[in-house]
């Protein structure tokens, strides 16, 4: 199972130590990085929770296509973004 960690260098370095492949991304290039990851058949993508909103359209598109992978796991890293994924799930 291939695992990708996407975010800033500090975020991805922790997951690289655990065996994930790290992909540096900012708000500007996040979607292009994720599209590459989706094409390479990763099973899990770990991202900071601040990217919940920025990835919504891509995740919805993958769901409409019937894709069950990759699974997107959002982790809270900043107080301002905490709870964003929970709020999305409540809707």
- Mean pLDDT computed over 4-28: 96
pTM, to two decimals: 0.84
Helix axes 52-64, 30-39, angle to 10 degrees: 30
pLDDT the model gives residue 59: 97
pLDDT the model gives residue 77: 84
pLDDT the model gives residue 49: 93
pLDDT the model gives residue 85: 59
pLDDT the model gives residue 84: 64
Strands in 18-90 per DSSP E = 21-24, 44-48, 71-75
Q: Per mean pLDDT, which range of 2-11, 26-35, 81-90 is the poorest?
A: 81-90
Read off the pLDDT of residues 54-88 as tens digits, 9 standing for 90 and up.
Answer: 999 999 999 999 999 999 999 988 766 666 656 77
């Amino acid at each position: 199972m291939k695992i990708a960690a996407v975010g800033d260098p500090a975020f991805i370095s922790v997951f690289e130590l655990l065996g994930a492949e790290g992909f540096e991304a900012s708000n500007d290039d996040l979607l292009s990085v994720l599209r590459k990851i989706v094409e390479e058949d990763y099973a899990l993508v770990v991202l900071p929770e601040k990217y919940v909103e920025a990835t919504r359209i891509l995740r919805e598109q993958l769901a409409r296509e019937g894709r069950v992978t990759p699974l997107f796991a959002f982790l809270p890293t900043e107080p301002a973004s905490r709870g964003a994924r929970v709020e999305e799930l409540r809707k």
